[in-house]
């Protein structure tokens, strides 16, 4: 039987090796996932765990193929398991609210928005800055409730659509916006008739550079040939073969300073 000292030494050595490997990362990329219809969520989790890749999930309560929202009770165990694996989380607005424009001439800052989820799905209406912050907070609070882990003080606007006024309003309630790098747009929401999975994979492996923030989704309704089953694993292995390593946005040199 190994002595207690030997067990402690082995554990300490393993942690030291892990920390060294982490610090030796010279070509980090930051893989992020926005919510979607969630059908591919179990597959995504399996691939990430198998390859020991940690990512940042941006959560909104979107419509899913189970009939429950992506932040609903059906998916709560899935989110909890991702937290236990060490992934990070951030807000994507509760109702997946698209910014459509700023409204001038009102006493309070407000925006024209159009959500793609929730009771006002598809409706265009005016939302105050305080209302937008409520959208950010509600998603963030729900993620914390499900995972037991405090989300990052970051958000991603649906479609990446923002304005200086919207960004300033979000900063005032504690959130910094995160978009994605040009080469980090992985194309899983594009038409599969025009952009095959094979072509998207080739482009990503060719163009992604160190420091890029990568964007994919947990299921896109409009894409007929799903991206994740075909592309995610070869993308991860291909980038690793090229010397890249995967990090969460908590470890981002700029975004990490906001936390």
Instruction: Locate the domains of the chain by residue range.
Output: 22-93+142-258
Element (H, E) at 28: strand 28-34
Using the predicted structure, report yes or no on whether residue 109 has a pLDDT greater than 50: yes
Q: Would you call 242 exposed, middle or buried from its count of C-beta atoms within 10 A (0-12, 13-18, 19+)?
A: exposed
How much of the chain, in percent, has pLDDT values that exceed 90? 85
Cα gap 102→226, rounded to integer Å = 35
Q: Which CATH number fits domain 22-93+142-258: 3.20.20.370, 3.60.20.10, 3.30.230.10, 3.10.20.30?
A: 3.20.20.370
**Digit-coded pLDDT (tens) for 138-190:** 999 999 999 999 999 999 999 999 999 999 999 999 999 999 999 999 999 99
Arithmetic mean of pLDDT over the chain: 91
Residue 87 CA to chain centroid, in angstroms?
10
User: Whole-angstrom Cα distance, residue 31 to residue 247?
Assistant: 7
**pLDDT higher than threshold 60 for residue 103:** yes
Residue 22: predicted pLDDT: 53
15 or 53, which is more confident: 53
- Of 6, 1, 42, 57, the closest CA to residue 250 belongs to 57
Res 18 pLDDT > 60? no
186-215 residues labelled b (16+ CB within 10 A) or e (exposed): bbbbbebeebbbeebbeebeeebeeebbbb
Query: 207: closest CA among 252, 255, 160, 244?
Result: 244
Q: What is the pLDDT of residue 241?
A: 97
């Amino acid at each position: 039987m190994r002595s207690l000292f030997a067990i402690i030494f082995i554990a300490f050595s393993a942690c030291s090796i892990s920390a060294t490997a982490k610090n030796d990362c010279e070509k980090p990329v930051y893989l992020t996932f926005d919510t979607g219809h969630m059908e591919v969520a179990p597959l995504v989790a399996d691939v990430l765990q198998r390859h020991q890749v940690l990512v940042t999930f941006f959560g909104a309560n979107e419509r899913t193929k189970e009939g429950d929202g992506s932040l609903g009770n059906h998916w709560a165990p899935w989110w909890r398991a991702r937290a236990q694996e060490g992934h990070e989380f951030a807000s994507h607005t509760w109702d997946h609210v698209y910014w459509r424009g700023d409204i001038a001439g009102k006493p309070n800052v407000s925006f024209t928005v159009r959500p793609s989820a929730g009771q006002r799905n598809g409706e265009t209406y005016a939302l105050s800055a305080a209302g937008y912050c409520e959208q950010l907070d509600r998603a963030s609070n729900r993620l914390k409730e499900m995972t037991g882990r405090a989300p990052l003080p970051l958000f991603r606007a649906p479609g990446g659509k923002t304005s200086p006024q919207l960004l300033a309003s979000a900063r005032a309630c504690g959130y910094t916006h995160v978009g994605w790098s040009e080469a980090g747009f992985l194309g899983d929401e594009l038409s599969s008739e025009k952009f095959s999975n094979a072509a998207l994979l080739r482009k990503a492996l060719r163009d992604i550079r160190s420091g890029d923030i990568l964007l994919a989704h947990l299921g896109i309704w409009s894409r007929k040939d799903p991206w994740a089953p075909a592309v995610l694993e070869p993308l991860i292995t291909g980038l690793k073969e090229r010397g890249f390593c995967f990090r969460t946005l908590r470890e981002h040199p700029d975004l990490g300073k906001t936390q």
